[in-house]
Structure 1
Amino acid sequence: MQNIPSVDLRDFLSDDPVRKQKFVNEIGKAYEDIGFVALKGHFLDDQLVGNLYEEVRNFFNLPLATKEQYEIPGIGGQRGYVSFGKESAKGKSEGDLKEFFHFGQYVENDPVLEATYPANVTVNELANFNQVGKQTYQMLEKTGVYVLRALALYLGLDEYYFDNFVKNGNSILRPIHYPPITTEPKEAVRAAAHGDINLITLLMGAQGKGLQVQNHKGEWIDAIAEDDELVINVGDMLSRHSNNRLKSTIHQVVNPPRELWNTSRYSIPFFMHPVGTMPLNCLNNCIDKDNPKQYEDITAGEFLHERLVELGLIK
């Protein structure tokens, strides 16, 4: 039995207004209660998922010296490779037990905006890595657009409210490798407790134990998806924009039992960001006398910069 609600995007995409509203209600309530859902009916097919995992394993199996050629200084880890232990959660000094790679936006018809983003990094050793990464990025982004349309309706906004903010947005696809654990970790875990920065996160690879979410009682519960599901959670930007009506839930990736230390774990989150100019001001229809405005006005770009400094990725 799953500890997080399961929803089916095909309900929202159907021509049946009752099914569509059912999806809106289910995902909205889940994000008010726990901040996480498992989603069926997304736009990733099995072949693309299989190809992606093959390419990701191929990349992380490259020699360290080769991978480090793709670690680009001066961009806060926003594109290319980020080596083991470089990132830590907000407020943590210990680096997480992971290495990862970043694919960024493929900007269409906006050269001015394109010039503000770091360029994507091409891995020359793997013929299919970059194309498979791009295809995955675009299918997860397409899925995320529909999830945000449902949430716009739930918040009493126009269905397409988020569309122009996320088109060409500063979203990131992050294949992560948690290598085998070879020595007793002191305080470090695979990913320390944190909230995500962005609007929503779409996560591939939550089929095994490891990912945990914190409920309202402060208890850690396992978030395990079925093979055909993505785990999708609210990030801090959307929580802030909705005046905390939709919850950005603290989550972590814990170390496995000692008998599984010699195994690698892969997960692939897609962090859906808007364009940097999007105002994250608390929505008026999420403010009332019982829920006064909780956050100062800020843009998505300003908020992202603050958080990257806190994470140690920008000095």
Structure 2
Amino acid sequence: MTSIPLIDLHGSIDPHAPLARESAARLHEALSTIGFTYIAGHNVAPASRDAAFAASREFHASPLERKQSVAINGFHRGYMGMATSTIVTSSVAKVTRPNMSESLMLMHELPPDDPGLLAGLPLQGPNQWPGWVPDFKPRVTRYIAEVDALSRYVVQLIAMSLGLPAHALDHHFERPTTFLRLLHYPPQAPQEDEQIGSAPHTDYGVVTLLAQDDAGGLQVRPRGGDWIEAPPIPDTYVLNVGDMLARWTNGRFVSTPHRVINRSGGDRYSLPYFFDPGMDALIECLPTCTDEANPPRHAPVRYGNYLLDRLNRNYDYRRAPSGDAVTA
């Protein structure tokens, strides 16, 4: 394939709506061939998304010492400075140089009395909000609520596309593991061939919904093909399959390599939202994705174990001076 398809959801996030099955069928085709699609006709308000982008720009324009006051912690929440993540787990490239980006990571928000938070379970901690940025938390929280609803609908369309009831997978996402990463890529000089905004990789989880600004730079490599551009299209999301969804579907859906090279001459901002199962979810081949001729390719895996392994290997902060990984 030489381009990424576009699916119009017709302004609905109801799996029982008249056109939902058509959307599910088109989604199945896109995710089983290229593993990427643009999503139009969604219910995320342009004003909410614009406000989240504005909050991100204001945060990244802050002095470094202020950003470092919310430095990423053992719960994988907070500010990651420039060039502090290296995708050593990439299955598509030997990555030795860190990504040329900085970001603020926000994960699923937990109430103060959450049992996992009180017990200090892995990745179950409070978010770090930059209180000096006016109205940052309400702007970003409103956006998260809207993109989360869209993500849940996408999972229902995926279930339908696989011959399952629309709500068949919902129980895995009752307490989802989510990440909103407010990313900033600085301009990259044309001669910096060895440096890259985001090295070739596949995503860890189930689905990613990416909001891009107008700078461009995202590239996708379909199976058997070369890198193609995924240019920004106004008021759309870029949806892609993660490794867990490929595993869940026994390879029917494709977790496709992608990368970012910021050649725009200016700054690039993006808002990827990663929507994944609960940490205790057992990911094993779905019943409609296997038969005698196509047995399960992977052993069942607990999502939290898989995720922690990748975080511990890819992020500098998760390695103590002794070299041991942190456990939070």
Q: Do the two structures share a fold, i.e. TM-score over 0.5?
A: yes
Q: Does 1:145 align with 2:152?
A: yes
Q: Helix, strand or coil: the match of 1:57?
A: helix
| Equivalent residue, structure 1, for 2:325 | none
Taking a change above 3 Å as real, the CA distance of residues 140 and 288 of structure 1, as seen in their structure-2 partners, is same
Separation in 2, partners of 1:11, 1:138 = 16
**Quick one: percent identity of the two aligned structures?**
27
Q: 1:104 Cα shift?
A: 1.3
| Equivalent residue, structure 2, for 1:92 | 95
Q: Does 1:62 align with 2:62?
A: yes
Unpaired runs of 5+ residues, structure 1, are none
Q: Does 1:190 align with 2:197?
A: yes
Summarize the alignment of residues 180-259 of structure 1 with structure 2, pairs less than 5 Å apart.
180-181=187-188, 184-185=191-192, 187-205=194-212, 207-256=214-263
| Equivalent residue, structure 2, for 1:303 | 306
User: TM-score scaled to structure 1, two decimals?
Assistant: 0.91
Unpaired runs of 5+ residues, structure 2, are 320-328
Taking a change above 3 Å as real, the CA distance of residues 13 and 255 of structure 1, as seen in their structure-2 partners, is closer
Q: Helix, strand or coil: the match of 1:212?
A: strand
Q: 1:135 Cα shift?
A: 1.2
Deviations along 1:63-93, one digit per CA (max 9) or x if unpaired, are 1111111103433xx2111110011123422
Counterpart pick for 1:282 among 276, 280, 285: 285
CA contact (8 A) 1:99 1:177 kept: yes
| Equivalent residue, structure 2, for 1:42 | 42
Summarize the alignment of residues 123-162 of structure 1 with structure 2, pairs less than 5 Å apart.
123-162=130-169
Separation in 2, partners of 1:17, 1:135 = 25
Counterpart pick for 1:82 among 80, 83, 86: 80
CA contact (8 A) 2:6 2:37 kept: yes
User: TM-score scaled to structure 2, two decimals?
Assistant: 0.87
Q: Helix, strand or coil: the match of 1:135?
A: helix
Give the residue type in structure 1 aligned to 2:277: P
Taking a change above 3 Å as real, the CA distance of residues 9 and 183 of structure 1, as seen in their structure-2 partners, is closer
Separation in 1, partners of 2:113, 2:243 = 27
Q: Helix, strand or coil: the match of 1:146?
A: helix
Counterpart pick for 1:265 among 263, 268, 285: 268
Separation in 1, partners of 2:84, 2:311 = 12
Counterpart pick for 1:163 among 164, 170, 186: 170
Separation in 2, partners of 1:137, 1:286 = 31
Separation in 1, partners of 2:249, 2:117 = 28
Equivalenced residues, count: 308
Give the residue type in structure 2 aligned to 1:93: T
CA contact (8 A) 1:191 1:252 kept: yes
Taking a change above 3 Å as real, the CA distance of residues 301 and 15 of structure 1, as seen in their structure-2 partners, is closer
